[in-house]
Structure 1
Amino acid sequence: MRVLITGASGYVGGVVAEHLVRAGHEVVALARSDRARERVEALGAKAVSGSLRDLDVLRGAAAAAEAVVHTAVDYTDPEMGDIERAALAALLDGLNEGGRFVYTSTGLVYPDRQGATVDEDHPVAPETSPQPYKVLGERQVLDAGHEAGTVIRAALVYGRGGSGLLQGLIGAGRQNGMVPYIGDGANEWSSVHVDDLAALYVAVLEHGGPGAVVNAASAERTPMRRIAEAAAALTGAQAVSLTLEQGTAAMGPLAATLTRSSPLDASRARRLYGWSPAGPGLIEELTTGSYAGS
């Protein structure tokens, strides 16, 4: 299958592209710089010069593909919602009738369930998500109608030394000698190894059935305090409890996000695609795996 992927020079997208190439697919990757081009070509993909702002490039590349995988994102860019809306419109407009479209979303689209497990049928709304434009992006893909649109709501992604959240906690430990968590840190998060997540993308594209919304998470649920303690042990720092007010002063809106707990039920992905995550657990990976030498 000829697959266009955005974000292949990034963390999740790079591993997804690698898995697609390994599975025998022809992968074409959007590359916005010479460095990105080198990165995606090293993965075995063919680079197409452009960014999410280059709408004609997106439309043309999608028209030449049988499937589109959208992983590109910059959560630090305040304009990302507008950028993604226009980019999705171009990609969906270019993709031919019957093509496949896989959209990368996040478990953060769900409202805070305070520890109650959530499945894909639970209502989501921009007003209750720390990443509201991801809810809107999901709707844009699912409402397009002319393609088999699948939304993957990923839990906390880890592995291969990546993940913005984990790298941030590790960086805090190294720089400040302290890794923060909020309150008692008992709120549990779901997680998924990046290689397991990439395997799900391949399974979705090769399934051939109608699109769906699926959660991507292992069975493991990890308290935020335990994550902070593992990051602290890795860096010789201390895990420290902050009040929400202290956390907000130090980390901004991220502090409130760290108090959330909406563990994901990923049984639909297992049932529809035979997906079976097998990677090492989050704490194991933090303490003895790819982060240990980072």
Structure 2
Amino acid sequence: MRVLITGASGYVGGVVTEHLVRAGHEVVALARSDRARERVEGLGAKAVSGSLRDLDVLRGAAAAAEAVVHTAVDYVDPEMGDIEGDALAALLGGLNEGGRFVYTSTGLVYPDRQGATVDEDHPVAPETSPQPYKVLGERRVLAAGHVAGTVIRAALVYGRGGSGLLQGLIGAGRQNGMVPYIGDGANEWSSVHVDDLAALYVAALERREPGVVVNAASAERTSIRRIAEAVAGLTGAQAVSLTLEQGTAAMGPLAATLTRSSPLDASRARRLYGWTPARAGLIEELTTGSYAQS
């Protein structure tokens, strides 16, 4: 089918684009710069010039597609919530009756469960999420009655040497000789390899299940301390425990996020789509895989 994807020049979106092209889909990718255009065309997609702020471009490109995959995000941009809200309105408004829409969300929409596993039926609210606009984005996609909306809540994404969080920790290790974690670091996170995640996008797009929310995570749960230790070993640094106050002074709001633990139950994705994560685990990737090789 003809698929419009946002964020194709980014980490997750680029790998999703590869998988979509490999599966035989005609992929049209939003590209906001010449560099982005070169990147997406190199992946086998057709580039359409524009950004999430170009609402007429989004509306027109969506109208010419049978499906939209939205992966573009900038968690650092304080205006991202408003930008995405307007972009979703344009994309959903342009997509024709019966079209498909796959929306990228995050496991951070869940409240902190302090280690208890969470499935998709657990209530989420902007007030309890570090990424509140993702909750609002989910609701908008699922409420669009004219399209088949699917929401993918991804765990910590890793693999191919990428991931904003992991790259940040690696950078800290190399620059400061220290990889921080908060408290005892025993809180555990779920994770998902970027290629396994991309395979789930393809399955969700091809096997129509309207109004579905699915968690994307492997069975592995990894403590934040173990992640910090693996990054420290990779960079020749030391893994160092900080108090929440020290962490907030050094990392801002990220410190509080690193204290959370809401491991994801991804059995729904396995049941609906036959999705089976098969790539190397997070610690293996950090110690002997793509991160070590890069």
**Pairwise TM-score range, normalised by the shorter structure:** over 0.9
Listed as ranges, the matches of 1:183-222 within 5 Å are 183-222=183-222
Question: Could you tell me how far apart the structure 2 residues matched to 1:73 and 1:208 are?
Answer: 25
The alpha-carbon deviation at position 144 of structure 1 amounts to: 1.1
SS in 1 for 2:136: helix
SS of alignment partner, residue 62 of structure 2: helix
- Provide the secondary structure at the position in 2 that maps to 1:29: strand
Structure 2: how far apart are the matches of 1:278 and 1:223? 20
Provide the rounded CA distance (Å) in 1 between the counterparts of 2:189 and 2:49: 37
Instruction: Count residues in correspondence.
Output: 294
How far did 1:209 drift? 3.1
Moved more, 202-211 or 173-182: 202-211
Cα distance per residue 1:48-91 (max 9 Å; x no partner)? 00000000000000000000000000000000000000000000
How far the C-alpha of 1:182 sits from its partner, in A, is 0.2
Contact 2:150 2:209 in 1 (8 A): no
Cα deviation 1:123-159 (Å, max 9, x = unaligned): 0000100000000000010111110000000000000
* Distance (whole Å) between structure 1 residues aligned to residue 46 and residue 249 of structure 2: 44
- Distance in 1, Cα, partners of 2:91 & 2:153: 20
- Measured in 2, the distance between the counterparts of 1:179 and 1:252 equals 15
**Does the 8 A contact of 2:31 with 2:47 survive in 1?**
yes
Counterpart of 1:292 in 2: which secondary structure?
helix
Deviation at residue 12 of structure 1 after TM alignment: 0.1
Distance 2:225 2:274 in 1: 32
Question: Any idea what SS the aligned residue of 2:40 has?
Answer: helix
Please tell me whether residue 49 in structure 1 is matched to residue 64 in structure 2: no
**Over residues 251-282 of structure 1, what are the superposed CA-to-partner deviations in whole Å (9 max), with x where a residue is unaligned?**
00000000000000000000000000001000
Q: Deviations over 1:25-68 (max 9, x none)?
A: 00000000000000000000000000000000000000000000
CA distance in 2, matches of 1:94, 1:131: 26
CA distance in 2 between partners of 1:293 and 1:264 (Å) = 29
Identical counterparts, % of pairs: 93
Q: Equivalent residue for 1:236?
A: 236
- Structure 1 residue 210: deviation in Å? 2.1
Q: How far apart, in 2, do the equivalents of 1:229 and 1:84 lie?
A: 35
Matched, 1:267 2:267: yes
C-alpha separation between the residues in 2 aligned to 1:270 and 1:64?
31
What does 1:115-194 correspond to in 2, within 5 Å? Answer: 115-194=115-194
TM-score, with length taken from structure 1:
0.99
- What is the TM-score of this pair, normalised by structure 2? 0.99
Gaps of 5+ in 1: none
Q: Distance in 1 between matches of 2:4 and 2:22?
A: 15
Whether the 8 Å CA contact 2:108–2:130 is kept in 1: the answer is yes
Give secondary structure in 1 for the equivalent of 2:151.
strand
Which string of whole-angstrom CA distances, capped at 9 and with x for unpartnered residues, describes residues 85-129 of structure 1?
Answer: 000000000000000000000000000000000000000000100
Instruction: Tell me the distance in 2 between the aligned counterparts of 1:143 and 1:208.
Output: 16
Q: Using the TM superposition, give the Cα deviation of residue 224 of structure 1 relative to its aligned residue in structure 2, in angstroms.
A: 0.3
Provide the C-alpha distance between the structure 2 equivalents of 1:127 and 1:187, rounded to a whole number of angstroms.
22
Q: Counterparts of 1:208 and 1:115 in 2: how far apart (Å)? A: 32
Please say if residues 106 and 155 of structure 2, whose CA atoms lie closer than 8 Å, have aligned partners that are also in contact.
yes
Q: CA deviation at 1:198?
A: 0.1
User: d(CA) in 1 for partners of 2:92 and 2:209?
Assistant: 18
**How much has 1:241 moved relative to structure 2?**
0.2
Q: What is the distance in 1 between the residues matched to 2:213 and 2:205?
A: 13
Alignment partners' CA distance in 1, 2:26 and 2:163: 27
Deviation at 1:179, TM superposition (A): 0.2
Displacement of 1:16 in angstroms is: 0.1
Provide the rounded CA distance (Å) in 2 between the counterparts of 1:186 and 1:229: 12
- Per the TM alignment, residue 293 of structure 1 is displaced from its structure 2 partner at its CA by 2.7
- CA distance in structure 1 between the aligned counterparts of 2:221 and 2:4, rounded to whole angstroms: 33
- Take 2:98 and 2:211, find their aligned partners in 1: how far apart are those partners? 11
Q: CA deviation at 1:211?
A: 3.2
Q: Is the 8 A contact 2:81 2:133 kept in 1?
A: yes
| Structure-1 separation of matches of 2:73 and 2:199 | 20
| Aligned mates of 2:204, 2:150 — CA distance in 1 | 8
The 1-side partners of 2:31 and 2:199 are apart by 22
Measure, in 1, the Cα distance between the counterparts of 2:205 and 2:118: 24
Q: Supply the distance in 2 between the matched residues of 1:217 and 1:278 (Cα, whole angstroms).
A: 11
Q: CA deviation at 1:237?
A: 0.3
1:204-232 CA-to-partner distances (Å, cap 9, x unmatched) read 01102323000000000000000000000
